[in-house]
């Protein structure tokens, strides 16, 4: 009979060295065990078959996404689940604690941290902040989840109460790392993920799920340390961190092998990350310049085209009677404003008369609509910005349609208010309705653009 309290999920990729060792350490737990493999080509799948494990395949992108898939793709029947890597070993004392585990004794708990002992080249890394190290590895199924806001660190998160099992150890020793070239290759790949993640956090396209709290759970405390790390100057922080690990966290006591590990993991790896961040930022520095160039070019194109069209459809040296008669969108644009303002005023009960350029609200006021009042300047600026900004076409088209329509409606509202309230003495008092309107319009557009950029970046 399988363990009714918890199941175990393992991630694998070419783990013939590690998997038998892990499976032997958990064999007496009699827990249903599932394996999510990412394309092993060695004996991993044969080992799974030998132990009669349920196996599924899924391409590997990063650990958080792989764990998210693992938690969703298996039909887990137990209230708890344990997530293990193939290079883990469940120590004897931890195994005994798990044998004695009963769900009914932990009704007010959602997650349990295991105490990890990390080995490098056969050496237990006892100092430098590596012991004790508490990892959330056991949690209630469909309550705990993989933190997809992490790009490399595969941390499980759970809401509500967690506890720490300080006794008993989860042993982690990757035998492949006995060859330093494997360790360097692996962490070179990891450095790409970490650099990408930090850039996304700098641009606020990736945020922390868990609230940083020094006095909270190990995950909350780690979130605070990462937040502090992101604020430190690049290139200086690897030196500071390595010094802190070696001196204040006594990493020097780990001996020759331990010092090599602390140097590689605490300095070399983090220095490579900083270098790659600068490389990636350097590649993206062209994007703001491209945006500025595109925006200015489009704005000048739209604005100058409107000015040119006004020139060739108005009597003068470059006048084109054909364009004026058949394709004069400027005149139609002006007629739209006058007609729509007159229509609304008539509905409101005002006596209105209009001609090609004027609207008169008898007994009140009116306006002469010159070309500069059409708003082609602000519309050219808005359209150029939205088109040039690096967002999806669908988002651009939708926002462009809403924005241009909004400008038309606001300008029409301005003309209606002028027709009702504008008096000659108002002009004499140096209150320019153009300035007031432009200020309000740019304020509204600026706010709308801010939320558009913010919402688009989050999605």
**CATH number for the domain harbouring residue 170:** 3.90.550.10
Q: What is the mean pLDDT of residues 290-295?
A: 78
- Please indicate, yes or no, if residue 139 is contained in any of the structural domains: yes
- Is pLDDT of 431 > 60? no
CA distance 387 to 439: 23
- Boundary residue ending a domain (175, 201, 218): 175
Q: Which residues contact 205 (CB under 8 A, 6 or more apart)?
A: 457, 458
Residues 191 and 168 in one domain: no
Alpha-carbon 39 to chain mean position: 28
Q: How far apart are the first and last CA of the chain?
A: 46
pLDDT in tens, 222-257: 999 999 999 888 888 998 899 999 999 999 999 999
Residues 224 and 107 in one domain: no
Residues 410 and 274 in one domain: no
Residues 260 and 348 in one domain: no
Give how far Cα 141 sits from Cα of 8, 89, 96, 151, 441, Å.
11, 22, 22, 22, 52
Percent of the chain with pLDDT over 70: 95
Residues 152 and 45 in one domain: yes
Both tokens assigned to 1 = 């009979």
Residue of higher predicted confidence among 425 and 395: 395
- Please indicate, yes or no, if residue 295 is contained in any of the structural domains: no
Q: 79: closest CA among 13, 32, 149, 18?
A: 32
Q: What is the mean pLDDT of residues 19-44?
A: 97
pLDDT in tens, 196-224: 999 988 888 788 878 888 889 999 999 99
CA distance 240 to 274: 14
- Please indicate, yes or no, if residue 297 is contained in any of the structural domains: no
Instruction: Find the domain containing 366 and state its range.
Output: 331-458
- Please indicate, yes or no, if residue 291 is contained in any of the structural domains: no
Residues 24 and 163 in one domain: yes
- Is pLDDT of 376 > 90? no
Q: Residue 428's pLDDT is what?
A: 45
Question: To which H or E segment does residue 34 belong?
Answer: strand 33-37
Confidence band of 54 (pLDDT split at 50, 70, 90): very high
Q: What is the mean pLDDT of residues 66-74?
A: 96
Residues 209 and 150 in one domain: no
Q: What is the mean pLDDT of residues 183-194?
A: 95
Residues 119 and 96 in one domain: yes
Residues 168 and 184 in one domain: no
Assess contact for 150 and 197: CB atoms under 8 A.
Answer: yes
- Please indicate, yes or no, if residue 322 is contained in any of the structural domains: no
CA distance 186 to 293: 40
Strands (E), 250-372: 352-354, 358-361, 366-368
- Please indicate, yes or no, if residue 113 is contained in any of the structural domains: yes
Q: Residue 108's pLDDT is what?
A: 95
Confidence band of 97 (pLDDT split at 50, 70, 90): very high
- Please indicate, yes or no, if residue 319 is contained in any of the structural domains: no
Residues 146 and 273 in one domain: no
- Is pLDDT of 75 > 90? yes
Give how far Cα 92 sits from Cα of 20, 125, 163, 174, 277, Å.
16, 19, 20, 19, 42
Mean pLDDT over each residue of the chain, to the nearest integer: 89
Confidence band of 455 (pLDDT split at 50, 70, 90): low
- Is pLDDT of 2 > 90? no
Q: Residue 367's pLDDT is what?
A: 85
Q: At what angle do helices 180-202 and 218-231 cross, to 10 degrees?
A: 80
Residue of higher predicted confidence among 351 and 325: 351
- Boundary residue ending a domain (175, 195, 229): 175
Residues 275 and 236 in one domain: yes
- Please indicate, yes or no, if residue 153 is contained in any of the structural domains: yes
Helices and strands, number each (H, E), in the chain? 16, 14
Give the total number of structural domains in the chain: 3
């Amino acid at each position: 009979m399988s363990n009714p309290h918890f199941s175990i999920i393992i991630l694998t990729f070419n783990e013939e060295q590690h998997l038998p060792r892990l499976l032997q350490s958990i064999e007496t737990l009699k827990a249903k065990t599932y394996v999510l493999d990412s394309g092993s080509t060695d004996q991993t799948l044969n080992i799974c078959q030998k132990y009669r494990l349920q196996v599924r395949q899924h391409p590997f992108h990063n650990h958080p996404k792989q764990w998210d898939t693992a938690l969703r793709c298996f039909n887990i029947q137990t209230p708890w689940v344990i997530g293990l890597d193939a290079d883990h070993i469940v120590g004897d004392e931890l195994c005994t604690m798990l044998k004695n585990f009963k769900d009914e004794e932990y009704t007010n708990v959602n997650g349990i941290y295991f105490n990890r002992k990390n080995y490098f080249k056969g050496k237990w890394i006892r100092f430098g902040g590596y012991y004790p190290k508490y990892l959330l590895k056991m949690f209630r199924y469909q309550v705990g989840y993989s933190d997809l806001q992490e790009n490399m660190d595969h941390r499980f998160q759970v809401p509500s109460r967690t506890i720490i099992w300080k006794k008993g150890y989860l042993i982690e020793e990757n035998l492949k790392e006995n060859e330093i070239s494997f360790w360097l290759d692996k962490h070179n790949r990891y450095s790409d993920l970490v650099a990408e993640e930090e850039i996304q956090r700098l641009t606020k396209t990736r945020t922390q799920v868990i609230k940083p709290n020094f006095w909270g759970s190990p995950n909350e405390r780690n979130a605070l340390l990462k937040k502090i790390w992101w604020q430190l100057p690049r290139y200086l922080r690897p030196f500071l961190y390595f010094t802190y690990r070696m001196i204040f966290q006594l990493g020097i006591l780990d001996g020759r092998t331990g010092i090599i590990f602390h140097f590689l993991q605490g300095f070399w790896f983090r220095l490579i990350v900083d270098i790659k961040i600068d490389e990636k930022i350097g590649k993206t520095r062209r994007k703001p310049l491209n945006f500025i160039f595109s925006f200015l070019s489009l704005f000048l194109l739209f604005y100058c085209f409107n000015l040119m069209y006004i020139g060739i459809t108005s009597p003068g040296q470059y006048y084109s009677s054909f364009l004026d008669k058949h394709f004069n969108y400027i005149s139609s644009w002006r007629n739209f404003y006058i007609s729509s303002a007159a229509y609304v005023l008539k509905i409101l009960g005002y006596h209105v008369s209009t001609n090609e350029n004027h609207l008169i609200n008898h007994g009140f006021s009116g306006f002469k609509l010159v070309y500069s009042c059409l708003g082609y300047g602000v519309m050219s600026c808005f359209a150029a910005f939205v088109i040039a900004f690096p967002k999806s076409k669908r988002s651009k088209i939708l926002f462009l349609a809403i924005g241009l329509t909004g400008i038309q409606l606001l300008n029409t509202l301005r003309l209606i208010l002028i027709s009702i309230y504008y008096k000659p003495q108002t002009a004499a008092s140096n209150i320019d309705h153009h300035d007031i309107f432009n200020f309000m319009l740019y304020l509204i557009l600026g706010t709308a653009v801010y939320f558009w950029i913010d919402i688009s970046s989050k999605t």
